[in-house]
Chain A
Amino acid sequence: DAGITQSPRYKITETGRQVTLMCHQTWSHSYMFWYRQDLGHGLRLIYYSAAADITDKGEVPDGYVVSRSKTENFPLTLESATRSQTSVYFCASSDGTRGNQPQHFGDGTRLSIL
């Protein structure tokens, strides 16, 4: 099915563990984004990517790593998870050809770090 898929939908892990959240889109959108959503903070940009092999930091990049070896995939890794990284994570993509194109979102991953 066309669209943007995040996995897993829910994840529970322990502090200090490495965890990777996956994001896959089938539209061949050039732009991809990772956000975290916390009560009172709205959506905060963690990292974004303009194309394969091009990534850049957003507002809150500390503790996160991204890669984009293929246009369709944009995984987010927490190298050593901390409780403050408990959040809902959204991946989004956007067409780069026209300026008025919105961001399209995955269904989110709820991550709990114990």
Chain B
Amino acid sequence: AQTVTQSQPEMSVQEAETVTLSCTYDTSESDYYLFWYKQPPSRQMILVIRQEAYKQQNATENRFSVNFQKAAKSFSLKISDSQLGDAAMYFCAYRPNAGNNRKLIWGLGTSLAVNP
């Protein structure tokens, strides 16, 4: 079965520092997509970043970047220059390209606290 594991239920970081959130997944597929979503206390689900498995280059979006290790099935999220507004629950999600149902497989989330 395809699964997504976020091994850190809670993390904290000092403002302006860098933090890395871990995500591993289990799949036999070679073509898939990976996503990080952020859920602040307002409970909105906001897409942070996405990665296509066929791309070797790691995705970046401003202060957010990923370390995608396909062989290790690892997809960690790095947040640089952390800000108070980054405090949120972060979810990692996986979707195989095979099939046509667009369903995501979700991790259980990492709660990130940002300390001033």
Q: Do A and B bind each other?
A: yes
Chain B residue contacts of A88, Cβ below 8 A: 43
Known: A42-B109, A43-B106, A105-B46. 20 other contacts (CB 8 A): A31-B101, A31-B102, A33-B103, A42-B108, A43-B91, A45-B103, A48-B103, A50-B100, A56-B101, A90-B45, A100-B33, A100-B50, A100-B52, A101-B102, A102-B35, A103-B102, A103-B104, A105-B45, A107-B43, A108-B44
A91 to chain B, nearest CB (A): 10
Bound-state Cα–Cα, A104 to B44, Å: 10
Given contacts A42-B107, A99-B97, A100-B33, contact A108 B43 (CB under 8 A): yes
Give the interface size class of chain A. 20 to 34
Q: A96 at interface (Cβ–Cβ under 8 A)? A: yes
Instruction: Name which residue of chain B comes closest to A56, CB basis.
Output: B101
Chain B residue contacts of A99, Cβ below 8 A: 33, 97
Interface residues of B (CB under 8 A from A): 33, 35, 42-47, 50, 52, 91, 97, 100-104, 106-109
Bound-state Cα–Cα, A45 to B104, Å: 9
Given contacts A100-B33, A102-B47, A105-B44, contact A40 B108 (CB under 8 A): yes
Interface residues of A (CB under 8 A from B): 31, 33, 40-43, 45, 48, 50, 56, 58, 88, 90, 92, 94, 96, 99-105, 107-108
Bound-state Cα–Cα, A51 to B47, Å: 23
Instruction: Name which residue of chain B comes closest to A107, CB basis.
Output: B44
Bound-state Cα–Cα, A51 to B29, Å: 25
